[in-house]
A and B are shown apart, each in its own frame.
Chain A
Amino acid sequence: MTAHDRKKRVLIAAGNYADAAAAIRLAKGIAPGLIAKLGGLLVHDEAIADATGLPVQRVVTSGGMLVQAPSRQGFENLMESDARAFRSGLSNAASACAVEWAFERRRGDLIAGVCQAAGGWDLLIVGHRSDRRIGPVVRVDPSRKPGEDTATIARRIAERLAAKVSAISMAGPDNVPNPPGGGPDTVRSEQDLLARINRINAALVIVDLAAGPLRGREQLRHLLEASRCPVLVLNAARAEPAIAHTVVIPPPPSHPEPPSGGDFGEGSGENSHPRNNRDE
C-alpha cells in the first residue's frame, strides 16, 4: 500500500447544517476504503448576525419562499439546533462506515476556523448546500503537474461517485491557456478560474492549497462560493491567512488581498479541541 492509498482522516466543516449535510452525504459515498476517521466542525459565523436586520432583507428558503430573517437570539437557537443535527448526522455516517468520529464547535470566521482546525486532519471537506446528483469532480491544478496525492484522491472519489474528473489549471509561465493538443482546461487568471467553476455543475471541487494556484484563505472562500458544492481541501492548514467572512465578496482587482486575522478570534468556540465520540 502506498501513502496515496492509505485511508484518510477527514474533517467535515460547515457554517450550518444544510451545508454540512451535503458534505456528510458525500463523505458517506466515498468513505469505504478512503476514510479512516471522520471529524465534524461547525463554525458559528457571527458576521451573518451582524449583517442581519436591513429593512427589506429576507431569507430565501430552499423552496423559494421569502421569510423574515431571525433575530440574533434566533440565530443562536438555530445554530444550537444545527449543531445537534450535524452531530447526529456525523455519528450516523460514522456508524454506517464503521469509523471513529469527533465533533467540535467554534465561533468566528468559517474559513479561518476550518483552516486552523484542519491541522490534525488529512483532508478537509468544506460543506456547501447542493442537490447535485451528477456532474464532474473538478480538480484545481497548479500550473505545473498536479500532485500525485491530489490526482489519486480525485480519481478514487470520482470512481465512487461514478463521475468523471475535470481538471482546471491556471496558465503559468510554462504553458498557455487551452493548448490545441488538449489536456487540462487552462485559464489565465484566478478570476477566470472562479468564473469557470461558477458555470460548472460540479459534484465536488478538489484543491491543494499547498500546491496552488489557490493558496490563501480568501481564495478558498471565493472558490467555495463559486463552486456552490462541497470543496475538498488538501493541506488546508497551510493556507495563507486572510480576512474572515462567509460571504461572496467580489474581489476587486485593484485591491490587495485583505490582511489576515478574524473578527472573532480563532479557536474561540466552546470546544476548541476536537474530541472523540462519546462512546469512548
Chain B
Amino acid sequence: MIEIPASEMGNRHAPEALSTVLRPETAEGGALIGQRRASDAIRLSAGIGHGLFNLFVSGPSGSGRHAEVLRILRQHAEDRPAPGDWVYVNNFDDPQKPRALKLPAGKAILLRDCMQKVIDDLASEIPALFESEDYQSQRRLIEEEVEQTHETAMAEFAEQAGSENIALMRTPMGYMLTSIREGHPLKTEDYNKLPADERAEIDEKISRLQERLAEIMQEAPRLERQGRERIEQLNATVAERAVQDRFEEVTEELSGLDAVSAYLADVRADIVANAELFLKDVDDEDLGPFPEALGKAHEEPKFGRYWVNIMVSHQTGTDRGAPIKQEDLPTLDRLTGRIEHVSHMGSLVTNFSMIKPGVLHHANGGYLVLDASRILSEPFAWDALKRCLKNRRITITSLAERISLASTTTLEPDAIPLSVRVVLVGERWLYTLLVMFDPDFSELFKVQADFEEDVDRNDETVTGMSALLACQAAREELRPLDPAALARLLDEAVRLAEDSRKFSLRIEALTELMCEADHYAGLRGGETIEATDIDATVEAKDRRAARVRDRMQEAIARGTILIDTSGSKVGQVNGLSVFALGDSVFGRPSRITARVRMGTGKLIDIEREVELGGPLHSKGVMILSGYLASTFALDVPFSLHASLVFEQSYGGVDGDSASSAELYALLSALSGLPIDQGLAVTGSVNQAGEVQAIGGVNHKIEGFFDVCMSRGLTGRQGVIIPKANVEHLILRPKVVEAVEAGQFRVLAVGTIAEGIEALTGVAAGAGDNDGSFAQDSVFARVDQRLRAFADKRRDFARRMRPESDGGAP
C-alpha cells in the first residue's frame, strides 16, 4: 500500500515554463498534434491519383477532425488545376435527353451570355427581316402564284363548263354538274324524256367535265404543299441571312471550344428551321419603358430551347485550385442534383433548364466532405453516392421516380463524368458497421484516418498544444491567453484525458472553455484571458451541471442516503461509482454490504438477481467468488452462502470497478473484522487477488472527498485506488490542498491483501505453501470461518441422513 503524496496528484503546468502571452500572427497553422497517423492517411487520400482511395475519418467528436481534414485538403487543392465548367443544353434531336457540355473553367458563363445575346439580337433582327418589304413581296408572290394557279384552272373550267351549257352546283358535299336547258338546271325527270342521243351528249359532257374538276380539286393540295415548301425555303433563306452573320461572331468569340462548335451548329440549324419562333406575338410583347432592342427576349419561355443551363461554373479570377465542398444535408437531391418540374395545364412538365446541380457536380474535380451518419440516414443517398463513385459519373435520378411516386414526363440527361475524392467523417462504430455489412464500402473507401483521443504529455506536446490553443483562440477571435491561463487550460486538457501523462485531444471542449473564459475576461475588462477566467469557467461549468450531484450530496448529508465516513463496521464498505450525463460527470460513494452464512457455495449478487446489475458487474462478482473459492479452505467443500448489495441503489449498476470493494466487504463479513468507514474503495479484482485499474478515478476521489468535507475532514479519511491508477491522478486543487494538509488520504494498493490491511488495520496474512495463513490474520480468520461452515454442513448432512441408512445391515 502506498499513500500518494500531493505532489503526484496534480502535476500541474507551471506558467513560467510557458512563453509569454501567445499572439499568433495568423489564425492559420496550429496543426493538430498527436494525429500524425490520421494526418498521413488524409494526405494519402488527398494526393493519390487512383479513383477509389476515398477516405473515412473516424475518431471522437470535437477532436478537430473536420478542421484537420479541410486544412490538409486545402493544401492539396491549391496545387491541383481548377476543373472545367459543365452545362446542360437542349438536345434538338431528342429533348428528353439533354446534352452535357464540358467547358474550360470560366467559359460556361461566357457561353450563356453569348447565347443570350444571340437570341436577343435575333429576336429583333429576324422579325425585321421578315417584316421587310423585300421578304413580304417575295412571300406574297409565292402565295399569289399558288392561289392564282388554282384559281386560273377553276376560272378556265367555269368558262368551259359555261360554254358547254353545264352548270356548277354547290352541294353540302361538294360540287355537282348538271346541264342547262333554257336557263334552268335540267331536272332529272326532264332528262329522262330527252332523246337518247341528247342524253348521251349530256352524259359525256358531265362525265368529262366532272373528271376535269376532280383533277383541278386534287391539284389544289399539291399546289398548296408546293407553295408551303417554297415559303419555308424562303423563310430559311431569310433566317439564314440573319443567323449567319451573328453566329460567325459567336463562333469567333467561342473559338477553341470544340464541344461548343457542334452545339452552335445545331442551334444555328434549329433557329433557321424554327424561325417562326422569333416572329410570333412580336406586336403583343410588353417591353415596358424599354425599346424593343433592349428587351430581354432570351428570357421568354419560347426561347428556352436555346438556354444554357449552367451546372458548374468556376470563376477564373477567384476560383483557384480544386474545389472543396461540404454538404450538411446530403439528401439524394442535394447530392446528385435534381430535375424540377412545373405545373402546366394540370400536368407536371420539365425540360433541360430545370436540371439543378448537386454537391457532386460542384465538388467534381476536387473534394467532397460529408458527415457519414447524415448521408446514411438520408433515403437512397448512400446508395446514389456509391453508384456515382463506382460508375465514375453523376446520374440524376429523382426520389419520386425511384419509388414510383410520380408518373410524369422526365428527362434522361447525359451523365457527367465524375472525379471526386469523398471524405466521410463519422464515428468508429459506424466505420466498423460499414466494413462488416456493406461490401461496397471497403472497395470505395480504401483509406481510414483514425483520430487519437489523447496524446502523450511531454515538452514537445506542451509546445504543440500551446500553439494549437493559441491559434484556436485567434481563429475564434478571442483574447489571447496569458501564460497562467494557458497553463490552466493545459491542466484541463490533462484532466479531460483523465491521465496525468496525457493531453486530451478534444480540442472543441477546450475551445469552448476558452470562449467562456473570454466572456468572463470581457466582463472584467481584461485584454487577455487569465487563469482566473479559466478557473471561473471551470467552476461555472461544474456548477451548471451539478444539480443532480448537489441533490445527492444533500441526501447524504441529511442521512437520506446512508454513508458512513467515520467509525468501523463489519461487512460494510464504501464503494465509489461515477454518474455521467453529457458533460456532467461526478463520483459518489455507495454503501456496499455483505452477509454470510453456511451454504452450498452460492454467492448471491442482489443487483443481478433483480436485474439492476449489468453484465460487467456480474462478471466482477463471479471473479471475486472464484478468488474466494480458490484461495481459502481448499480441502473442504466451499460451504458459503453470501449476499452482496449496493445499498440504496435504485438505478442500474454496471462495470467491475466495485468488485474489490465487494470482496473487502465479504472478507470483513467472513473474518468478523470491521472496516474503517472513513475510507472508500475503488478498483476491480482478478481471480489472483490483484487489484486492477478502473476509469473515472479523479471523479470518484472528488465525490467521496466532497462528502467527507461536508461532514468535516478528519485526516483519517481517504480513498483506496488501484496502483495502476496513480498516474491518472489529476485532482482538483481543493483535494490536493487537503492531502497536502494531511486532512485527506489517497492510498494505492496492488493486491486485495494490501487493501484489506488498510481497511481493517489487521495483517492480511499471506498463505504458506501448505495453504495455511498467519495466526489471527484476516485471511486466517476467513479460512477458519469457511472451514467452520464446511464442518457445520457436514454435521447437518449427517443429522439429516435417514436412520435406516445407519441401521442397515
Among the 9-residue stretches B149-157, B284-292, B585-593, B685-693, the one with 4 or more Cβ atoms under 8 Å from chain A is B149-157
B172 touches A18 (CB 8 A): yes
Interface string of B173-191 (1 = CB under 8 A from A): 1111111100111111001
Would you call B174 and A250 a contact (CB within 8 A)? no
**Least Cβ–Cβ distance between B640 and chain A, in angstroms:** 108
Q: Cβ of A66 < 8 Å from any Cβ of B?
A: yes
Partner of B168, one of A53, A62, A248: A248
Question: Interface-forming stretch among A75-83, A173-181, A233-241, A266-274?
Answer: A75-83
Interface string of B134-164 (1 = CB under 8 A from A): 0000001001100110011011001101110
- Per-residue interface assignment for chain A, residues 125 to 144, with 1 indicating a CB less than 8 Å from any chain B CB and 0 otherwise: 00011011111000000000
Nearest CB in chain A to that of B185: its residue = A51
Residues of chain B from 649 to 664 with CB closer than 8 A to chain A in the complex:
none
B183 touches A51 (CB 8 A): no
A26 to B403, CA, bound (A): 55
Q: How far is the CB of B328 from chain A (nearest CB, A)?
A: 57
The size class of the interface chain B forms with chain A is 35 or more
Q: How far is the CB of A41 from chain B (nearest CB, A)?
A: 16
B384 within 8 A of A: no
Inside 8 A of A70's CB, which chain B residues have their CB? 171, 173
Chain A proximity of B337: nearest CB distance (Å) = 46
Residues of A close to B154: CB separation below 8 A: 228
Measured in the bound complex, the distance between the Cα atoms of B148 and A54 in whole Å is: 32
Instruction: Decide if A145 is an interface residue (CB 8 Å cutoff).
Output: no
Are B173 and A48 closer than 8 Å at their CB atoms? no
Asked if B203 is at the interface (CB within 8 A of a chain A CB), the reply is yes
Is B216 an interface position by the 8 A CB rule?
A: yes
A residues 192-217 in Cβ contact with B at 8 Å = 195, 198-199, 201
In the complex the two chains form, is B172's CB within 8 Å of A81's CB?
yes
From residue B150, how far is it (CB to closest CB) to chain A in Å? 8
CB neighbors of B among A226-280 (8 A): 226, 228, 243, 245-250, 252, 255, 258
Check A17–B172 contact: CB distance below 8 A: yes
Nearest to A200 among chain B residues (CB) is B151
In the assembled complex, how far is the CB of residue B100 from the closest CB belonging to chain A, in whole angstroms? Answer: 45
Q: Are B170 and A246 in contact (CB under 8 A)?
A: yes
Chain B positions within 8 Å of A64 at CB level: 214-220
Asked if A250 and B147 sit within 8 Å, CB to CB, the answer is: no
Given contacts A225-B158, A252-B183, contact A18 B170 (CB under 8 A): yes
Residues A226 and B187 in contact, CB atoms below 8 Å apart: no
Beta-carbon contact of B167 and A248 below 8 Å: yes
Within 8 A of B (CB), among A60-109: 60-67, 69-70, 75, 78-79, 81-82
Interface contact B207-A56, CB-CB below 8 Å: yes
Distance between Cα atoms of A247 and B162 in the complex (Å): 11
How many Å from the CB of A112 to the closest CB on chain B?
14
Q: Which residues of A contact B184 (CB under 8 A)?
A: 47, 243, 245, 249
C-alpha gap A43/B179 in the complex (Å): 22
Chain B 197-219 near chain A by CB (<8 Å), digits 1 or 0? 00100110011001101111111
- The answer to whether the Cβ of B262 comes within 8 Å of any Cβ in the partner chain is no
Which residue of chain A lies nearest to B191 when distances are taken between CB atoms in the complex? Answer: A54
**What's the interface size class on A, roughly?**
35 or more
In A4-60, which residues have CB < 8 Å from any B CB?
Answer: 15-19, 47-48, 50-60
Interface contact B171-A48, CB-CB below 8 Å: yes
B283 to chain A, nearest CB (A): 13
Residues in B whose Cβ lies below 8 Å from that of A247: 167-169, 178, 180, 185
Closest B residue to A54 by beta carbon equals B191
Q: Evaluate contact between B155 and A58: CB separation under 8 angstroms.
A: no
* Residues B170 and A69 in contact, CB atoms below 8 Å apart: no
What's the minimum C-beta distance from B709 to chain A, rounded to whole angstroms?
Answer: 98
Query: Out of B147, B151, B213, which one reaches A60, CB within 8 Å?
Result: B213
**Bound-complex Cα distance A78 to B167 (A):** 21
| Given A54-B203, A64-B220; A59-B171 close (CB under 8 Å) | yes
- Asked if A62 contacts B147 (CB within 8 A), the reply is no
Bound complex: CA A230 to CA B161 (Å): 21
Q: Does B165 contact A (CB under 8 A)?
A: yes
**B614, chain A: closest CB distance, angstroms:** 85
Q: How far is the CA of A18 from the CA of B170 in the complex (A)?
A: 9
- Which of these, A81, A201, A248, A252, contacts B158 with CB under 8 Å? A248
* Contact partner, A250, options B163, B170, B177, B207, Cβ 8 Å: B163
| Shortest Cβ gap from A49 to chain B (Å) | 9
The answer to whether B615 has its CB under 8 Å from any CB of chain A is: no
Contacting pair B203 A55 (CB below 8 A):
yes
Q: How far is the CA of A133 from the CA of B185 in the complex (A)?
A: 32
Partner of A132, one of B147, B177, B213, B221: B147
- Provide the bound-state CA to CA distance between A19 and B168, in Å: 14
Count chain B CB atoms within 10 A of each CB in A16, A54, A60, A64 and give the residue with the most.
Answer: A60
CA–CA, A81 and B167, complex, Å: 25
Measured CB to CB, the closest approach of chain A to B681, in angstroms, equals 101
Name B186's closest neighbour in chain A (CB-CB): A51
Residue of B nearest to A252 (CB): B183
Q: Could you write out 25 A-B pairs with CB less than 8 Å apart?
A: A16-B170, A18-B174, A51-B169, A54-B179, A54-B206, A55-B203, A59-B174, A59-B175, A60-B174, A60-B213, A60-B214, A61-B174, A64-B218, A66-B214, A69-B171, A69-B173, A128-B170, A133-B147, A134-B144, A195-B159, A199-B151, A201-B148, A228-B154, A249-B167, A249-B183
18 further contact pairs, Cβ within 8 A, besides A67-B174, A243-B184: A47-B185, A48-B171, A54-B191, A54-B202, A60-B175, A60-B176, A60-B214, A75-B171, A128-B170, A132-B147, A132-B151, A135-B144, A228-B155, A246-B170, A247-B178, A248-B158, A249-B183, A250-B162
Nearest 6 CB-CB pairings of A with B: A64-B218, A64-B217, A247-B167, A53-B188, A250-B162, A78-B172
